Structure 1
Amino acid sequence: MSQSTSTQRITALDYARAWAIFGMIIVNYKLAMEAEDDGSAWLRVIASLFEGRASALFVVLAGIGIALMTAKARSSLDKNLIRQNRKSLYKRSVFLLVAGILLLLMGWNADILHYYAVFMLAASVLITVSDKKILGLFVVILIVSQVGLIVFDYGKGWDASFHEYADFWTLSGLMRNLFFNGFHPIFPWLCFFLIGMWIGRRRLLEVGYRPKVLLYSLSGTVFFEAVSYFLIRWTSGTLGTSATSAVLDQEAAYYFFTTKPMPPTMLYVLSATCSAIAIIAISQYVVHKLENSRLTQAIIHTGQLSLSHYIGHVVIGLGFLEVIGYLENGRLSFAVAYGCVYFIFAIIFSYIWRKWMKRGPVELIMRKL
């Protein structure tokens, strides 16, 4: 029997969330193994496509999920229901903060969960805020973040490779990392969460909007990537066949106009937002056409266990390599292959687990607490 449109929309989000997890696994394994180059140019290109995109998709999906979760409280303005939703978000925030800190203490510097804790707190405040104000806050944070890249030293605290943060466990270092120059700083990563909330509120995931959403998001991705390419080449004086007068040196041009996640420029946020929305729209099409496929259902289940898989790919996946002494091997081909194998096992585990349990292992612990 076919799922209802509403259920199908939710499962499409789970389907997209699974692919976000896959992308994060590839990026994080590449980072943890310090795998930069082993001669495979095509592999470098494929791996680089996930950088900052998978995690941005993950945060956008979180924003959409929170918007759907709080929809009834927002529409009814029932004070008791709003209070219950806020209490639930507070508890999630505390759980994610503790989980994130434990991963950080284990040496996982690229953790996203402690940032998620702040996103949950922001969501609790924004439950009854209007859609226009949500969008306005998105714009303000985007502009402030870009100005911050000009005014402040983005590299402060980082080593030359941007792998280790020297003063993370000091108050100033922690705040700087959390709000400005960490792997997923509040400025501007809260933008992804806000745009997700806005999309969830505006019901842009309905069937009637799907073609336009896909067209506009794909077009937006191409447009912002083209703008980035043009501005970097033009300001650095490398546009065209003959050299033009340079406004900035090549490193500064890349710093201000890149669409890579570090530093997180305005163009990066806009391009990654568009690509995230495009993947969500494509996921809706796939689930609509192939919802009864075992593989599709298994991938959906994987997305439903996303928190378990995020923690698992660090604790189990990287932990195993640490035990056998093969963690910092530096081989990109191994990092990608290992990530793919881990994700396949994650899909199999999710399919089997969901036959017996409604929620994943970590999700169950969070629900109990």
Structure 2
Amino acid sequence: MSRLHGADLARYLAFVGMVLVNFRLAAEVSGGSDVGSLITDSLEGRAAALFVVLAGVGASLGKPAWHLTLRRAIFLFVVGMLNMLIFDADILHFYALYFVVSMALMRRSDNSLLLGIAGFILAGFVAQLVLDFDRGWNWTTLSYADFWTIEGFLRHSLFNGWHPVFPWAAFLLWGMWLGRLSLGRWTVQTGMVLGGALVAVVAQKASGTLISDPEIGALMSTEPVPAGPLYMLAGGATAAAVLGAVLLITPVLLALPLIRRLCDAMIVAGRQTLTHYVAHILIGMGTLEALGWLHGSLHPMQIFWISIAYCAFAALFSWLWSHKFRRGPLEATMRLITEGKT
């Protein structure tokens, strides 16, 4: 149970990171030198990677049948495409595509998963080398011109969108591989922390050396767009380190009466991240829009604290909701539609 609690807590923290990044993106606030900006900068691309890795961990722990995975993928795809109507950086429809990929490898060996991870990263890197990554993009407005065409959708989804299948599906496969470990053992957790931190640091150092290369320097960044091999390495390693650290510390936190109450709310919220992801766009960004707080009208620290307050409210909502219902609103809806159960 402590293993599951730790994964749920890590999922909530990933959600917090995504809210910080997405609220700043929506508010069109430029980063600064304040603490809030530095924290948000460090989370850009890392929180989303952790989110996807944790989905892979959950897939390994749950071992759903392929047809259930497919039904869930279809549900997420529909919700994600609807979300794309109002939020261009949606990740849910990408999740659906990652889950379709996972169906082919769910019952395969650990080595097959590792080969799949390497294959998706390599394919993405080769595509970035030989194809035009800028095609379809207006980087000034962060808009994609032809997403709602077949060609544009496929290009965006597979190659040059915010979280394209090549290489981002590798994060889900990495999470599936991690989910097969004995995650409840402190030795495994410690290994994830130390190994993940070491690899992330090495990737960052290598990026600093190679980024000046005139041939491939643009792809040697650890920034998420484009998602080059060193970003994938750093993002996956960071996710493993964060998950290991949260798994290590969760039993300690739950043993402290006052801290446990706070952790309980975050853990429950971590089980309802589908609901909260959609809500932070519809309710969170919608409220900011209604109040006229978007389009550069806020200071970086203001949007930082608004984001933190929203995440605290989300945790409180989940804690109150859990007293009456077992699952979050969207989680229950997905279960009803895909499994016919309440």
**Counterpart in the other structure of 1:130:** 109
For the residue of structure 1 that corresponds to 2:90, the secondary structure is coil
2:190–2:248 Cα contact (<8 Å) kept: no
Aligned AA for 1:93? A
**Counterpart in the other structure of 2:262:** 295
List aligned pairs for 1:149-228, cutoff 5 A.
Answer: 149-161=128-140, 163-204=142-183, 206-228=185-207
Deviations 1:48-95 (A, max 9, x none): 11111001000000001101111xxxxxxxxxxxxx712211111111
Deviation at 1:285, TM superposition (A): 1.6
**Counterpart in the other structure of 2:285:** 318
Q: Which sections of structure 2, spanning at least 5 residues, go unmatched?
A: 338-342
Q: Which residue of 41, 48, 52 maps to 1:48?
A: 41
Q: 1:310 to 1:217 in 2, by over 3 A?
A: same
Q: 1:162 to 1:69 in 2, by over 3 A?
A: farther
State the distance in 2 between where 1:271 and 1:200 align. Answer: 19
Deviation at 1:324, TM superposition (A): 2.6
1:199–1:205 Cα contact (<8 Å) kept: no
Aligned AA for 1:312? A
Q: Which residue of 26, 41, 54 maps to 1:61?
A: 54
Q: Does 1:358 align with 2:323?
A: no
State the distance in 2 between where 1:13 and 1:160 align. Answer: 35
2:186–2:248 Cα contact (<8 Å) kept: no
1:89–1:124 Cα contact (<8 Å) kept: yes
Instruction: Select between 152-161 and 123-132 the one with higher mean Cα deviation.
Output: 123-132
**Counterpart in the other structure of 1:284:** 247
State the distance in 2 between where 1:26 and 1:310 align. Answer: 12
Deviation at 1:162, TM superposition (A): 5.9
Deviation at 1:43, TM superposition (A): 3.6
1:204–1:213 Cα contact (<8 Å) kept: no
Q: Which sections of structure 1, spanning at least 5 residues, go unmatched?
A: 1-6, 71-83, 236-246
For the residue of structure 2 that corresponds to 1:355, the secondary structure is coil
Aligned AA for 1:60? V
Q: 1:257 to 1:153 in 2, by over 3 A?
A: same
Q: Does 1:257 align with 2:220?
A: yes
List aligned pairs for 1:109-120, cutoff 5 A.
Answer: 109-120=88-99
For the residue of structure 1 that corresponds to 2:144, the secondary structure is coil
State the distance in 2 between where 1:266 and 1:260 align. Answer: 10
1:36–1:330 Cα contact (<8 Å) kept: no
Q: TM-score scaled to structure 1, two decimals?
A: 0.86
Deviation at 1:296, TM superposition (A): 1.3
1:59–1:193 Cα contact (<8 Å) kept: yes
Deviations 1:245-276 (A, max 9, x none): xx45xxx62x2211010010100000010110
Q: Does 1:13 align with 2:7?
A: yes
1:57–1:273 Cα contact (<8 Å) kept: yes
1:224–1:267 Cα contact (<8 Å) kept: yes
Q: Does 1:30 align with 2:24?
A: yes
Deviations 1:268-325 (A, max 9, x none): 0000101101110111122111124111111111101111110010000011122233
How large is the RMSD of aligned CA atoms in angstroms? 1.6
State the distance in 1 between where 2:198 and 2:106 align. Answer: 31
**Structure label with greater radius of gyration:** 1
Deviation at 1:334, TM superposition (A): 2.6
**Counterpart in the other structure of 2:84:** 104
Q: Which residue of 294, 305, 311 maps to 1:337?
A: 305
Aligned AA for 1:228? S
**Counterpart in the other structure of 2:340:** none
Aligned AA for 1:171? I
